[in-house]
Amino acid sequence: MIQATRRPRPAGLYVHVPFCARRCAYCTFVTSTDLDQIGRTVDALVTEITRIAGSSRRELATVYLGGGTPSLLPRPELERLAAAIRNGFAVLPGAEVTLEANPDDVGETTVAAWAALGVTRVSLGVQSFADPVLEMLNRRHTAAEARSAAGRVQASGLQLSIDLMLALPGLHRAALDATLEETVTLVPDHVSVYLLETDKPHRLGELAGLRPDLFPSADESARQYLAAGRALVSAGYRHYEISNFARPGCRARHNTRYWLGQPVLAAGVAAHGQAGRRRWANHDQLPAYLEAVETGRAPRAWTRRLGADEAVREALMVRLRLARGAPAELVERCSGLAPAFAERLEEFFSLGLARRVGNRVRLTPRGWLLSNELLATLW
């Protein structure tokens, strides 16, 4: 008898490229400036991707080359990565393939080479269109370079996403307005807007401890976030997730997989994966990662299966990041698990920070700003 084998659902694949030409003042991502390690690391990534792929040629709906700065990779190294992915997996026609890029790596021929390797979308770290702000962040590029990089991506027919940062020292109202105006004028397909996290171990975090007067207050940061939202929404973007805005049809499909709990495979130092209730992460130090892969071991730091209640709480947490919100049924289950959450959510409703729409519960943009307070009561 022939047994029907169930084909696993298409997955996403995240690949972490842990190199940067220099370290920005605000960054806590796992990256190294020792570019001599690129070849050895790509060797390890190729080995790991081939091992994860096995022999099943699993279908991929999305691929995300993140970092670090994948745009730093010399072309032959990127070709080796692309070949390992193509050989191990069936990348579906129409798959979203994103590459994170720093503006000063975006030359005309580089973008064409990325497109030829199957990249469909470039996520460009612009952060700000104010040169003094970029300098303070220790960015490698100017506003003018970011502008021309964006133009090159668009001219090549790839989708363009732009990262902006708010709540930065020196990002006064005029600099923010100019940054938002420039962003809208460029008409990117997608914009991510992040508030600087000052509680993390980076140089600006240290400075925030010593000289809080240099940084915008919490109220001013909130005003910046709401102003960014208004500017982008009135230019036709949909604020579809706490930090993300998209033109119609241009939502980030890879990131959406995390928010909807869909399977994401992961390769590279510090990469995190998910499938059903299983979660795992690779070593977060490059030497430990390399050593594991080179000695034939999985570079896993940990792997675990969420408990049933934990999975429900996590599902609510990630779905409330989305504008469409969470099903009321999920909210009720969590309210049963955590009465403090139910109480705090009632406060959110009465303050207009959350709304019931049909059989879903949504946070408003003001609600998102305070969402940490609400979600802390879940656990």
Out of ligand SAM, ligand SF4, none, what residue 197 binds, judged by CB under 5 to 8 A for its kind, is ligand SAM
What tokens were used for 174?
Answer: 């005029």
197 binds ligand SAM (CB under 6 A): yes
As measured in angstroms, the least distance from the Cβ of 242 to ligand SF4 is 19
Binder of residue 23, out of ligand SF4, ligand SAM, none (CB less than 5 to 8 A by kind): ligand SF4
Q: Which CB sits closer to ligand SF4, 11 or 119?
A: 119
Identity of the residue numbered 232? L
> Is beta strand 278-282 parallel, antiparallel or unpaired with respect to 326-327?
unpaired
Task: Using CB under 6 A, pick the residue from 48, 100, 182, 241 that binds ligand SAM.
Answer: 100
Report residue 372: phi and psi, to 5°. -60, -40
Which C-beta is closer to ligand SAM: that of 24 or that of 82? 24
Nearest residue to ligand SAM, scored by beta-carbon proximity: 125
CA atoms within 13 A on the CB side of 274: 16
Of 69 and 262, which CB lies nearer to ligand SAM in the complex structure?
Answer: 69
What 8-state DSSP symbol labels residue 71? G
Residue 44: which residues within 8 A CB-CB, separation 6 or more? Answer: 289, 290, 293, 294, 299
Query: Within a 10 A sphere around the Cβ of 348, how many other Cβ atoms?
Result: 20
Counting residues that bind ligand SAM (by CB under 6 A) gives: 18
Q: Residue 238 corresponds to which tokens in the numbers above?
A: 């949909």
Q: Are strands 121-127 and 159-166 parallel, antiparallel or unpaired?
A: parallel
The distance of closest approach from Cβ of residue 207 to ligand SAM in the complex, given in angstroms and rounded to an integer, is 12
- Residue located via tokens 């990249």: 119
**102 forms part of the interface with ligand SAM (CB under 6 A):** yes
Q: Are 22 and 140 in contact (CB under 8 A)?
A: yes
Q: Which string of DSSP letters, residue by residue, matches 253-274?
A: HHHHHHHTT--EEEESTT-EEE
Say whether residue 161 binds ligand SAM (CB under 6 A): no
Pattern 110-149, ligand SAM, x by CB under 6 A: ---------------x-x----------------------
| 157 φ/ψ sector (left φ>0, alpha ψ -120 to 50, else beta) | left
Binding site for ligand SF4 (CB under 6 A): 20, 23-24, 27, 29, 31, 67-69, 102, 125
Check binding of 28 to ligand SAM (CB under 6 A): yes
For the beta carbon of residue 146, count every other beta carbon within 10 angstroms: 26
Determine which residue in the list 165, 171, 232, 322 makes contact with ligand SAM, applying CB under 6 A: 165
Single-letter amino acid code for the residue at 254: H
Rounded Cα gap, residues 122 and 106, in angstroms: 10
Question: Which one of ligand SF4, ligand SAM, none interacts with residue 217, CB within 5 to 8 A by kind?
Answer: none
Residues 44-83 that bind ligand SAM (CB under 6 A): 66-67, 69
And the tokens for 75? 């072309």
Q: Which residue has the tokens 């119609």?
A: 248
Q: In the structure encoding, which two tokens stand for residue 76, read together? A: 């032959």
374 binds ligand SAM (CB under 6 A): no
Residue 165 interacts with which of ligand SF4, ligand SAM, none, CB < 5 to 8 Å by class: ligand SAM
Q: Is the CB of residue 320 less than 8 Å from the CB of residue 309? A: no
* Among the listed residues 50, 86, 138, 194, the single contact to ligand SAM using CB under 6 A: 194
Burial (CB count <10 Å: 0-12, 13-18, 19+), residue 184? middle
Question: Which is nearer to ligand SAM, 70 or 88 (by Cβ)?
Answer: 70
26 touches ligand SAM by CB under 6 A: yes
Give me the residues paired with residue 96 across strands: 62
CB 31 to ligand SF4: min, Å: 5
The pair of structure tokens assigned to 1 is 């008898």
Q: Which is nearer to ligand SF4, 255 or 335 (CB)?
A: 255
- Point out which span in 195-203, 217-225, 244-252, 345-353 binds ligand SAM (CB under 6 A): 195-203
Site residues, ligand SAM (CB under 6 A): 26-29, 66-67, 69, 100, 102, 125, 127, 163, 165, 194, 196-197, 200, 202
